[in-house]
Amino acid sequence: MAVIKAPYKDIKLLARLLRAEAVGEGKQGMLHVGAVTVNRARVNCSDFEGLRTLPEVIYQPKAYEALQHGMFYQRSRESERRLAKRNVKGHRSWPAKYSLWYFKPEGQCPPTWYDQQLVGRYKAHCFYEPVQGECDEIYNSY
């Protein structure tokens, strides 16, 4: 059962994002990016108020570097669509389980990023959860 509504065209869009943002991080890295994206569509707080669908989240201005830097042009492959479907069905794992933000720094992960707490790193990406009281609905299970 899906944790957010996502027609097939949205699955393909999410799969394109996974490929553009994290293909170099392997399947697990792409799953982490997908988890953060689905988390953003599930919550209604912080930078993500009023964003209820994957296209709204993905096309949010300045939300994803792949869209800003022209890396979002490739079609998704079946392997990425399978990963996107897993995310829509609720797959989340550490460090992206409750994360709403991630980024790829030049060096070490800063302990906070825009006042959000570092929870961990996977390969090149650092993952951040909201500070307590800011967006507690992310911790609700599905």
Which architecture characterizes domain 1-104 according to CATH? Orthogonal Bundle (1.10)
The pLDDT assigned to 89 comes to 97
Arithmetic mean of pLDDT over the chain:
95
The pLDDT assigned to 54 comes to 98
Find the mean pLDDT for residues 109-118.
Answer: 94
User: If 0-12 CB within 10 Å is exposed, 13-18 middle and 19+ buried, where does residue 117 land?
Assistant: middle
| CA proximity to 56, closest of 18, 97, 4 | 4
Q: Which amino acid belongs to residue 81?
A: R
Q: Using 50, 70 and 90 to split pLDDT, how confident is the model at 132? A: confident
Domain residue ranges in the chain: 1-104
The pLDDT assigned to 69 comes to 83
Find the mean pLDDT for residues 104-132.
Answer: 95
| CA proximity to 54, closest of 3, 122, 114, 113 | 3
Tell whether the model's pLDDT for residue 141 goes beyond 80: no
Q: Is the Cβ–Cβ distance between 36 and 104 less than 8 Å?
A: no
Q: φ, ψ for residue 31 (rounded to 5)?
A: -60, -35
Q: Does the global pTM surpass 0.85?
A: yes
